Amino acid sequence: MTTAAVPKLRKALKVTPPGLSVERELWASGHEVVVGFDEVGRGSWAGPLTVGAVVVPKDRRLYKLRDSKALTEQEREALFDRIASWCTAWSVGHASHAECDRFGMSEAQRLAARRAITGLDIKVDAVILDGKWDFVGHAVTRKLVRGDAKCLSIAAASILAKVTRDRLMRTAADTYPGYNFEHNKGYPCPKHRTALHGYGPTSIHRRSWVFMDSLAWMGANRLPPGGQMQLFDQNG
């Protein structure tokens, strides 16, 4: 299989790239295995919440790596295999739509992060998180606002998580035509809202979300946060 060529770096991306300053500080303190984390899917109406975890090498850099939000879908897809093969270790963990409903978003994000750590299959010495909230709970943690734009480990995790989840949602689009999942990836948009009013929620929609309150379609009611799992479609 031929790896897609990464498109030429656009002018808008020719800014200071994510660096290794936080990783180097932690390495210098004796923390050999430093993991960058990022999540995707918190604001989505459908599909999983996904957390990426990445250990970057100390001695090799990767050109054109940027925050996933700054890249186009084509650029992220082209970078995916390069990042995956470059990392010392990487993993992606998911919390399903049903788990998001049952546990709430904060606990679902912790669950996805635990699964990502388990997938690394390596002893973690320190973690770097994007944002102000510690959703991992490791003894040695650095929180970094806009970390996906500043920190190489987090930027890599953001791309691997985003591409992995996007691929899942494009597959879901084949099962649930009409919701435009191949383009909106489960996030709110006019076409998604119209489909919900016309067809109702699918078995991968988060039924405790407030968007359920405005649906005229009466085939399903909003599931209260923390609702019982048996209220879900058993195939979902």
Task: Compare 93 and 60 and report the one with higher pLDDT.
Answer: 93
Q: Does residue 227 form part of some domain? A: no
Q: Are residues 215 and 128 in the same domain?
A: no
Q: Are residues 115 and 49 in the same domain?
A: yes
Q: Does residue 133 form part of some domain? A: yes
Mean pLDDT of 18-41: 97
Neighbour tally for 61: CB within 10 Å: 12
Mean pLDDT of 158-163: 97
pLDDT at 87 over 90: yes
pLDDT at 151 over 90: yes
Between β-strands 89-95 and 126-130, what pairing exists: parallel, antiparallel or unpaired? unpaired
pLDDT at residue 3 in the model = 53
- pTM score: 0.87
Structurally, the chain folds into a number of domains equal to 2
Confidence of residue 217 (pLDDT cuts 50, 70, 90): low
pLDDT at 132 over 50: yes
Q: Are residues 150 and 210 in the same domain?
A: no
pLDDT at residue 232 in the model = 34
Q: Are residues 41 and 29 in the same domain?
A: yes
Residues recorded for the chain: 236
Mean pLDDT of 111-134: 97
Q: Are residues 179 and 149 in the same domain?
A: no
pLDDT at residue 228 in the model = 47
Q: Are residues 70 and 60 in the same domain?
A: yes
| pLDDT (tens digit per residue) in 40-73 | 999 999 999 999 999 999 998 887 788 888 899 9
pLDDT at residue 233 in the model = 35
pLDDT at residue 63 in the model = 76
Of all residues in the chain, the percent with pLDDT exceeding 90 is 71
pLDDT at residue 64 in the model = 77
Q: Are residues 101 and 166 in the same domain?
A: yes
For every residue of the chain, which 3-state class applies, written as one string? CCCCCCCCCCHHHCCCCCECHHHHHHHHCCCCCEEEEEEECCCCCECCEEEEEEECCCCCCCCCCCCHHHCCHHHHHHHHHHHHHHCCEEEEEEECHHHHHHHCHHHHHHHHHHHHHHHHCCCCCEEEEECCCCCCCCCCEEEECCHHHHEHHHHHHHHHHHHHHHHHHHHHHHHCCCCCHHHHCCCCCHHHHHHHHHHCCCCCECCCCHHHHHCCCCCCCCCCCCCCHHHCCCCC
pLDDT at 11 over 60: no
Domain span holding position 44: 12-170
Confidence of residue 14 (pLDDT cuts 50, 70, 90): low
Q: Are residues 53 and 111 in the same domain?
A: yes
pLDDT at residue 176 in the model = 96
Cα–Cα distance measured from residue 70 to residue 149, given in angstroms and rounded to the nearest whole number: 9
142, β-bridge pairs: 128
pLDDT at residue 29 in the model = 97
Q: Are residues 87 and 202 in the same domain?
A: no
pLDDT at residue 172 in the model = 97
